[in-house]
Amino acid sequence: MLWLLLLSACAVAGTSCARLCRAAVHTAVTGAPAPHRHRLTVYEAAYLSGGPVRVAEVTMVSMARQRRLLLAHTGWVTVVDPHGRDALERAVLRAIGSEGQSRIAPVRAATAGGAPVQALADRLAAAGLAVPEETRRTVRSALRQVRGALLVVLGLGGVALFTTPPDAGGSSSALAWFALPLVLTVSCLLIARVEGRPYTGWASGPGRRLLCALSARPDGDERTYLTAVAVAGVAAVGDPGLVTAFAHRDRTVHREHGHDRRPGDRGGRGDRDDPERGPARRGR
């Protein structure tokens, strides 16, 4: 019984660790060459720093700064200028819809999952600046398998501990044998935590080096402000209204007759038209 449990633990641990090592070697060998000189755009910096969601946020902040969108602190976005100047802005406008007003959260999600963001990701991956989605998925899947193998080894070791006769040092012997697959899985996870990090983030090594050259302080001109949002997120700009707008979660308040009502509405009007609450707060 002990040997069967031990062999099962070793097989699970060895298979999962071998898969993780193979995935790491494959991604290291097939990585695309990075350009020697490349100046990141604001959208590219946003993707390499925070992925598709950060790109959507930067696009909306940029449009709000130009007074073409209104970002309310209640979590709503309103269209002022319905004409997008690039593919990402048009994706934001399509996500808002024909009514010209929507929650920020679904607009951000729809824009992040749209074709323009995917095209941006593909360009960065082809240039060697971003980690391809397939690579991230493969490495993360292998990491999950190793974590699962660790739990299996612990479970099998516990079963062996309770089923082995305590006489003649049987329990100590079981713990000693199961220490081998346990050390294998734990050490593999520790190594992957350091060595595998470049393959589970958004930016590759060259992409991270380009990001390090960018400023995360929202001082200076418009590009510097948007670059700070792209690199460090909305919280980096220090605008409480903007931070609240993007952090606001959807809440649906039902009227007496069961119809949806927007938070802060009076008689069905949006918060931007409420004379007591004032106009919607714009992005900085």
**DSSP letter (8 states) at residue 76:** E
Domain 2-31+129-199 has CATH 2.30.30: no
Write down the pLDDT at residue 200. 63
Q: What percent of the chain shows pLDDT beyond 70?
A: 75
Q: What band does 171 get if pLDDT is binned at 50, 70 and 90? A: low
pLDDT exceeds 70 at position 230: yes
Domain boundaries, the chain: 2-31+129-199, 42-116+215-247
Half-sphere exposure of 167 (CA within 13 A, CB side): 0
Write down the pLDDT at residue 104. 94
Mean pLDDT of 43-69: 94
Write down the pLDDT at residue 215. 67
CB-CB contact of 47 with 59 (8 Å) = no
Q: What is the pLDDT of residues 233-243, one digit of tens each?
A: 888 777 787 88
Of 188, 208, 203, the C-alpha closest to 23 is 188
Write down the pLDDT at residue 94. 95
Q: How far apart are CA 52 and CA 226, in angstroms?
A: 16
pTM of the model: 0.69
Q: What is the pLDDT of residues 81-129, one digit of tens each?
A: 999 999 999 999 999 998 899 999 999 999 999 999 999 999 998 888 8
**Residue in the block written with tokens 């993780």:** 20
